[in-house]
Chain A
Amino acid sequence: GAGVSQTPSNKVTEKGKYVELRCDPISGHTALYWYRQSLGQGPEFLIYFQGTGAADDSGLPNDRFFAVRPEGSVSTLKIQRTERGDSAVYLCASPTPETQYFGPGTRLLVL
């Protein structure tokens, strides 16, 4: 595609539920990043994929968070047993050597 797309754009869930957030990167890009942005803060790194494998997952806050990219294109960020503190905008980025192209984000609200 022409840019990075993320679905859903908004997600409201209840504490304790499971959610999946999807990222469609720019076609042909081998690397993919997930970031989390809390209100009034800059984005924070979560995980970096090179192809199908997670090259760096050191930013995932705990074992409730997991991400996959089984075919090296679309990625899914999975959050188990959601907590209110997980509420944030989750951003996906598709990099080139010159820059990183960001998607519009998924705004997650945990009630």
Chain B
Amino acid sequence: KQEVTQIPAALSVPEGENLVLNCSFTDSAIYNLQWFRQDPGKGLTSLLLIQSSQREQTSGRLNASLDKSSGRSTLYIAASQPGDSATYLCAPETSGSRLTFGEGTQLTVNP
């Protein structure tokens, strides 16, 4: 059974800082891995998807890396802004297009 751990559980930083969110998973037989953002009381928004054959993906100020063999992924956020405040969820995809989510990292970026 896939288990996903995200560290840290919560993070509070001043505006402008670069930061790294960590995700580890136990079953390396994944098809891809996604990072999602969740705002309070809202659904999930997909940020980045990394295929199992890829090492990283970039979108704007976001960069996600994947080390499938070691079961790790990181999400790097450059020049953080207050609008980045949300919960970030990591979800590797295994057979049947099934996503397994971590508990998330709750990020607060202070002005």
Contacts and interface: CB of A to CB of B under 8 A. Distances in A.
B61 interface: no
Contacts of A45: 98-100
Interface stretch (B13-21, B43-51, B70-78): B43-51
Give the interface residue-count category, chain B: 20 to 34
A46 B99 CA distance: 11
Contact of A56 (B34, B41, B96): B96
The interface residues of chain A, by DSSP majority, are classed as strand
A55 B96 contact: yes
Contact of B43 (A40, A48, A98, A104): A104
Contacts of B36: 102
A42 B103 contact: yes
B30 interface: no
B43 A105 contact: yes
B89 A42 contact: yes
Interface string A34-68: 01000011111100100000011000000000000
B107 to A, nearest CB: 15
Contacts of A72: none
A88 B91 CA distance: 19
B46 A100 contact: yes
Given A44-B101, A45-B98, 10 more contacts: A42-B104, A43-B89, A48-B96, A48-B98, A56-B98, A95-B97, A100-B99, A102-B36, A104-B42, A105-B42
Interface of A: 4, 31, 33, 35, 40-45, 48, 55-56, 91, 93, 95, 98-105, 107
- The 4 A-B pairs at the shortest CB distance, nearest first, are namely A42-B101, A102-B43, A99-B46, A102-B44
